Structure 1
């Protein structure tokens, strides 16, 4: 049972004695922050990295959830957008993002007397192509959930058991994940996608993506919601709204929403990256 994994997680934090949590506000890092605080109290600190790839709504969620947990919460600015290796959007883009994150957090942790920087990587993440995990490991970060074999399903069960309101929160990767590999990422493009997704969220949608390719916005929704969306949405107004954000074309993905869909090019792209 998932709940049986709670005590080992608590013991792991007790052994750490002090920990700084790389806290995005997603369900994984929120669970880590909750358990760390329950065990360590004021010897746990949550840090959220703020950059153009973080939705303002997600930052606000992180603030609210940290306050509900009670954990000390601080913000730091990261500057991955200054790195051309990141903005060129190669298949290992996340490596450069996490390098920037942990190159920022590690010195801060040492300065504040925290021997460990921990993140919310779970056991399922280890089965996907996640170059950012390598960057974190190279900088000495620990992943308690992955270390203990805690999967995404376990995370949700544990979060629900602990009374976290965000236990069923949809996954929300950074905005840079909305662009096909090889398309340059700019602050203007990130803001355009962010505004588009915020407009869909205001319509009451929760599980979706707005994929950006050139001047085209492609909306992904769960396949079972496509028909109702087309029949009940004022499509001309939606198109006009997206065009006001800077898109020229607005399309609907008929396959439906699938997390990590842009990674379907990876077997070919990664092979070519390595020659």
Structure 2
């Protein structure tokens, strides 16, 4: 397995970091960032590395299945824990810093688990580019002593995918899949029913073969986001009448298509500029 000369120094730094830790618990979602962290942790630490996935209503069931499959492919020991984000008022109210409460719940669950199992370090998949975006969850992780190996050695989003491909992770090009709560505008209350509804809507589209997408939900309106280059194809190939009927049965009143197309973090454009760069 060949790693490009430009990435080899960063990979070596990553390996050194894990070797110095000795044991590490990886906050593992199954996405490509945490998968890369889990892969390198396993390569360096073997059975002294543990991947833990938080199971909650904000995680799509198929994402959990993929996370389990990918952990098996990597070889790392994998454990599931339940988290209760919706029980945190700060999370359910969906303020602009909702992710702070989400990551607080996650790491308030993982930290005592790590201590009970004898792991001095909890690590996540935050990369160097994430630290340039509005990510209040990063602060919650920092407050609880979580380390971010990818960010520490300066690995960007693009480099994560390149390195994952070179290390043999077959899902290196898997689209990013943030938690389902990111589908709702800030200030709209998040409930179990709403999470399930938007999750089923996205499942509907994936079963039709659409891979990179979001279904944004506002009150009872669903807004489909697809890559701009796929919008015409979607309109031409999709039975729109059947889709609308199915989604109205889920509880949506209106079903719309975003003509701008998919853009990660689009809801953040509604934030004050100061919040976006803080």
Among 80, 83, 89, the alignment partner of 1:75 is 80
Q: Does 1:52 align with 2:57?
A: yes
Match of 1:183 in 2: 188
Alpha-carbon displacement from aligned partner over 1:23-49 (angstroms, at most 9, x marks no partner): 000000000000000100000000000
Within 2, Cα distance between the matches of 1:185 and 1:19?
A: 33
Match of 1:43 in 2: 48
Matched residue SS, 1:66: helix
Among 234, 239, 248, the alignment partner of 2:239 is 234
Matched residue SS, 1:123: coil
Match of 1:218 in 2: 223
Asked if the contact 1:211–1:218 (Cα under 8 Å) also holds between the matched residues in 2, the reply is yes
Within 2, Cα distance between the matches of 1:131 and 1:176?
A: 14
Match of 2:146 in 1: 141
Alpha-carbon displacement from aligned partner over 1:73-111 (angstroms, at most 9, x marks no partner): 000000110011100000000000000111111111111
The unaligned stretches of length 5 or more in structure 2 are 1-5
Matched residue SS, 1:182: coil
Please report the TM-score for the alignment, with normalisation by the length of structure 1.
0.97
Within 2, Cα distance between the matches of 1:55 and 1:92?
A: 22
Match of 2:260 in 1: 255
Q: Does 1:7 align with 2:12?
A: yes
- Displacement of 1:269: 8.3
Within 1, Cα distance between the matches of 2:7 and 2:244?
A: 44
Among 102, 113, 116, the alignment partner of 2:107 is 102
Within 2, Cα distance between the matches of 1:80 and 1:130?
A: 17
Within 2, Cα distance between the matches of 1:6 and 1:32?
A: 11
- Displacement of 1:246: 1.1
Alpha-carbon displacement from aligned partner over 1:158-217 (angstroms, at most 9, x marks no partner): 100110011000000000000000000000000000000001000000111000000000
Asked if the contact 1:3–1:161 (Cα under 8 Å) also holds between the matched residues in 2, the reply is no
- Displacement of 1:4: 3.3
Within 1, Cα distance between the matches of 2:29 and 2:271?
A: 25
Matched residue SS, 2:212: coil
Cα distance, 1:210–1:66 mapped onto 2, change above 3 Å = same
Please report the TM-score for the alignment, with normalisation by the length of structure 2.
0.96
Match of 2:3 in 1: none
Q: Does 1:194 align with 2:199?
A: yes
Among 248, 252, 255, the alignment partner of 1:243 is 248
Match of 2:271 in 1: 266
Among 135, 145, 148, the alignment partner of 1:130 is 135
Within 2, Cα distance between the matches of 1:94 and 1:6?
A: 29
